[in-house]
Chain A
Amino acid sequence: MDNNMDNNSNNIIVLMVCPVSNYLEQEIEKSFKVFKLWHFEDKEQFINTHKDSIQAVVGSAAAGADAELIESLPKLEIVATCSVGLDKIDLARCKEKGIRVANTPDVLTDDVADLAIGLILAVLRRICESDRYVRSGEWKKGEFKMTTKFTGKSVGILGMGRIGTVIAKRAEAFDCIIGYNSRTEKPNLNYKYYPNLIDLASNCQILVVACSLTEETQHIVNRQVINALGPKGVLINIGRGLLVDEHELVSALLQGRLGGAGLDVFEHEPDVPEELIGLENVVLLPHVASATVETRKAMADLVVGNLQAHFGKKPLLTPVV
């Protein structure tokens, strides 16, 4: 960790807008003064009192810096998010005001990809369901049902960025046929490109949502895409809840128009649609795709590293803006 900062660094005030981890808080506190927004009942009053001293905001997938917050912090210089997703940050406004933005790409790519494959297997092979079958004593009454093979199946990846690429590589080891949809076709990829998401969904059995959430991609997985995936199709979402029309997803699952789903993200975390809780053909995870000891430490170190770089007048480690 770079502690090469001047003695006044402890006076720099960082506002954490949501809890991330004890480790991150401890590390930031080593070099900066930290305010934790969730400790204040009257957030508006807190901001009014301290607005002229806050120079940095630290967020995560849960919360970031929207237009309102940015406008209320005239001394804000940097927003560092403990996530790779930027959907909770008003990037345009940051750009406009010369506020730096840093995220945590690459360090979480492998874990997220691993979990995507884990979700596919958990859904197709009904692993969580069969664990319940054993724990509840049902196995004593009879054999569990037959499940669906993963090896050799067709996998469609929505978003062929860092994470999508790594998911594809892992699926290849299972002899899967890979297709993808993204804003533009990627050169030098051996996978079939589908310029139309509905076509991709029609031509794969498992659709993995791995793109970033922007204004354009909200609800990109809509009723037509879900119907195209079909009654034997499986939807895996390790991106953001808002990428999928959750209401349509629920009704498709209830009506059998979609075969199953593995979801790590939801539109209104931590709330999960009640109807999904009763379904056996879904796996529901509490946004844990990057949640390993190793990766969360690496993400936190990157956040602190970016803050130290900025206030030490050095280049940001992982700049976005």
Chain B
Amino acid sequence: MPTEEERPVVLIHRIPALKQPLASLSERFTLLDPLLHSADSTHSFLSRHASSVRAILCLGASPLTSDTLSLLPALEIVVGSSAGIDHVDLQECRRRGILVTNAGNAFSEDGADYVVGLLIDVLRRVSSSDRFVRNGLWPEHGAYPLGSTLGGKRVGIVGLGSIGSEVAKRLVPFGCSIAYTSRKKKPCVSYPFYANVSGLAADSDVLIVCCALTEETHHMINKDVMTALGKEGVIINVGRGALIDEKELVHFLVRGKLGGAGLDVFEDEPHVPKELLTLDNVVLSPHVAVVTAESFAALEQVVIGNLEAFFSNKPLLSPVKLE
């Protein structure tokens, strides 16, 4: 463990709601946290320390804008700590040659597990029949409406990244057939590739949305895609709320033009469209697809690993390609 003088400086960037976890960081790095110095405004704190800050750790989805970046002329790396990186001004990072890392594979397995959990819940009505039992309706009504079998379902994965490929691996033994869409066809993957999401939706019973949110993918699941998926179709979203046109999604679900949905993310969290709150064919969760003790422990390793690699000029563990 480095001595206090040897610990490289890392600026912590976070919104106030996020507490500083990752306790083992302070053993290895000198952490500068503007929010712990209430006497100073963040602006003046950053200006004062600017010359020593080469690395910034961005906690969770705290937005990192070009305004903040412009106060840090010596900045060379942004270390992200979430699966998505859409809250960081990547264009500005690319312009300045600032390296960016994300959570790598720390969250992939948990994210995939949650997708499968949501899918089984929607198709087999797990949460809604649990409600049925808890409300005392079983003796009265006898049976709960039938669900739909997973076997034979055509699953279309939107974004075959680390989470998407773990989802595919888990669903194959359930008898699901897998196809995907992605920016580019993946060379070593045998699942059928679709160049666009509408084509994928037309040939799928289930769409699993687990890609990154970018300018191109904003509202990529739109009215046309939902129409192509069809009124028995199911959408599972663990990516970002804005990947789906939420207003249209609500419209489709309320009018029975879509079979069901499992949603972990929303356009304006923690607000969830109130029409969804009374539907039995949707499962709603509060952005928790990757939130397990185990994934956060893995994240800590990735964050420390990336920082140590940067400060010792070694290859980064999980660099984000800035195109």
Contacts and interface: CB of A to CB of B under 8 A. Distances in A.
A284 B198 CA distance: 37
A306 to B, nearest CB: 22
A299 to B, nearest CB: 11
A189 to B, nearest CB: 16
A293 B133 CA distance: 20
A277 B284 contact: no
Contacts of A121: 113-114, 116-117, 120
A125 B170 contact: no
Contacts of B243: none
B130 A173 contact: no
Given A118-B120, A149-B113, A295 B149 contact: yes
Contacts of B283: 127, 131
Contacts of B132: 286
Interface string B259-282: 000000000011110000100000
A149 to B, nearest CB: 4
B110 A149 contact: yes
Interface residues of A, number: 51
Contacts of B296: 146
Given A118-B117, A121-B116, A131 B127 contact: yes
Interface residues of B, number: 54
Nearest to A119: B126
Do most interface residues of chain B lie in helix, strand or loop, or is the interface mixed?
A: helix
A281 B148 CA distance: 25
Interface string A101-145: 000000000110011011101100101101101110001100110
Contacts of B131: 128
A36 to B, nearest CB: 14
Contact of B126 (A127, A135, A150, A294): A127
A148 B297 CA distance: 12
Interface stretch (B73-81, B172-180, B220-228): B172-180
A131 B129 contact: no
Interface in B69-102: none
A26 interface: no
A271 interface: yes
A118 B121 contact: yes
Given A111-B149, A122-B130, A174-B170, 13 more contacts: A117-B116, A117-B120, A127-B121, A127-B127, A128-B127, A139-B270, A148-B294, A149-B293, A151-B112, A272-B138, A277-B134, A292-B146, A293-B148
13 contacts: A114-B124, A114-B149, A135-B277, A144-B286, A149-B110, A173-B172, A270-B142, A271-B139, A272-B133, A277-B133, A288-B125, A288-B147, A291-B147
Interface of B: 109-110, 112-114, 116-118, 120-121, 124-127, 129-134, 136, 138-139, 142-144, 146-151, 169-170, 172-175, 269-272, 277, 283-286, 288, 291-296
